[in-house]
A and B are shown apart, each in its own frame.
Chain A
Amino acid sequence: MQATDHLIASTAPLAVAGALSLFVSLAEAAPPRPVEVAAGIFVIEGVVALASPENEGAIANSGFIVGRDAVAVIDPGGSTAEGASLVEVIRGITDLPIRYVIYTHMHPDHVLGAAPVVAASEAEVVAHAKLAHALAARAEHYVAGARDALGDEAVRELEVVLPDRAVEDTATLDLGDRLLLLRAWPTAHTDNDLTVLDARTGLLFAGDLLFLEHLPVVDGSIKGWLAIEADLTSLPAARAVPGHGPAVVDWPEGASAQFGYLAGLAESVRAQIARGAGLADAIEAVPVPAGDWALADAFHRRNVAAAFTELEWE
């Protein structure tokens, strides 16, 4: 106890300096507000939007789970700034080391914030076995995209961090009385989707296998995504954190709108293929989906093209 007091006393000047710098950054932008979605599990909601200088690339949900001995971060966000502010948020809640950074898939809005989180306490980066090559092949492309979307300043210190540990099928991580059950999925949203289930609370981090509000994006296989619906929705979870949308939703009810869109897309595209339409015609002909999807302008036509070039092989 005394030792702790002493430590606090001796770090007081640092704490003041930290408070000052926090004050300055408060003046620039509101700090992200974590939502405690289950005991010891926190989510920082991304905005449902395309990456821009205003949102600093914080467009996907980020989260962390606090165990007895350590912390696991799930998706450190889309920029160095987002990763750094995530560390600040975690340090406002616990001093435990960040032992793991888990990627739910290779997309830049989920992984580009890793470097400052990893640097904070030498965390091990864990991902689907196919993620390393998928991210390595896209890294240059993603950095160019971040530069276009966020500006030169945002990519100056950007590092793409590749995983240290590959999950082929399933894996269990222990944060101290807190087991995380990781599962690698066959090709669906991407070819490297991975979910994280907190055994204690039955809370599922679904990554981008679950979209709400934000139109789902097909960058893997629409057939594969529809094919895992039964396995995914029967996971023993009560609630889930989507990759995009609100911090937490009921499970599996929260997945119904997404799978409705994907099934409708597949049906409409198959109808175009059956009537002999070409790719360009199908992109024009498949209607924008019903429902309150945001970003349909940005992603629906691309989804049609992806579904068409996949389903025409049936």
Chain B
Amino acid sequence: MLRTAIVFAGGMLMASAGLAQEASDAWSDIVANVFDGRAMHQSEVVALETPYRAEDAATVPVTLHFAAPEGSDLRIERVTLVIDENPAPVAAVFELGADAGVTRIDTRVRVQSYTNVHVVAELSDGSLHVAERFIKASGGCSAPMGKDPEAAMANLGQMKLRQFEGVAGTHPEAQLMIRHPNNSGLQMDQLTRLHIPAHFIHSVTITQGDAPILTMEGGISLSEDPSIRFDFEPTGNPITVEAQDTEGNIFGGTWPVEVGRSGA
């Protein structure tokens, strides 16, 4: 009888936990290579919320908060989310629309090993501001595809925009959800002995009328079914989304804004 059995040689499996020391080395490399070695300020401009221990390493919720110093006429141009120990550490780069009023973004990421996570905000004067958190989770990037890969491909590119009224004078929020397996390329199908090819959303543009709210350049560290939730100042114009994946598929949608202006 033809039998398919998978035998693992000892020692071929990845080590999981990175030590704190290694984590800080990884960060120095990232500062040098991604941020050209520029100075990083620890300041109140940015903050990061993460669970200390994640329920599911393939879907770790992270929230980025950022605000230019009060009373300054500076603004935040760009926010970068870095997962130091991941195979592709830069998880996402968000460019913020000048008048969009975005002060927080939450999304979901894959975490491959115990790691520091950094968020770096770049102000309009070119200064970089950083916040850091440590996350205990492992295996999220090479974790198998979702619970039902057949359904995932059948729904590829489906989008949903949820909208939330602001509470107590804060901006309203919207959550963009895109059905996509976001395959990392690190998942191996032992039946075919092949890596499942990387296939992920690499760019998203969100506008209100002609005015940008934000754009995102993303990589394999974003979870399956990417989700971006953000606050914004509504102009009354509809929200339009265009997303592109690594196979050249373009997905889009337009939604009327149903949430009110904050009156701020």
Contacts and interface: CB of A to CB of B under 8 A. Distances in A.
For the residues of B in contact with A, the DSSP-based class is loop
A160 B148 contact: no
Most buried by B among A276, A279, A280, A306: A279
Contact of A144 (B7, B106, B108, B139): B139
A309 B225 contact: yes
A278 B63 contact: yes
Contact of A220 (B8, B59, B145, B147): B147
A144 B16 CA distance: 10
B107 to A, nearest CB: 10
B160 A136 contact: no
Contacts of A118: 3
Interface in A125-153: 130, 132-134, 136-141, 143-144, 147-148, 152
Contacts of A190: 147
Contacts of A280: 49, 51, 61, 63, 106
A155 B8 contact: yes
Interface string B38-65: 0000000000010100011001010100
Contact of A122 (B1, B56, B162, B165): B1
B264 interface: no
A311 to B, nearest CB: 12
Given A115-B5, A144-B14, A283-B55, A187 B148 contact: yes
A161 interface: yes
Most buried by B among A144, A156, A191, A302: A144
Interface of A: 115, 118, 122, 124, 130, 132-134, 136-141, 143-144, 147-148, 152, 155-156, 158-162, 164, 187, 190-191, 219-221, 276, 278-280, 283, 301-302, 304-306, 309, 312-313
23 contacts: A115-B5, A118-B3, A122-B1, A130-B150, A132-B191, A133-B189, A137-B188, A137-B196, A141-B143, A144-B14, A147-B13, A155-B8, A158-B8, A160-B5, A162-B6, A187-B151, A191-B148, A220-B147, A276-B164, A280-B63, A283-B51, A283-B55, A313-B179
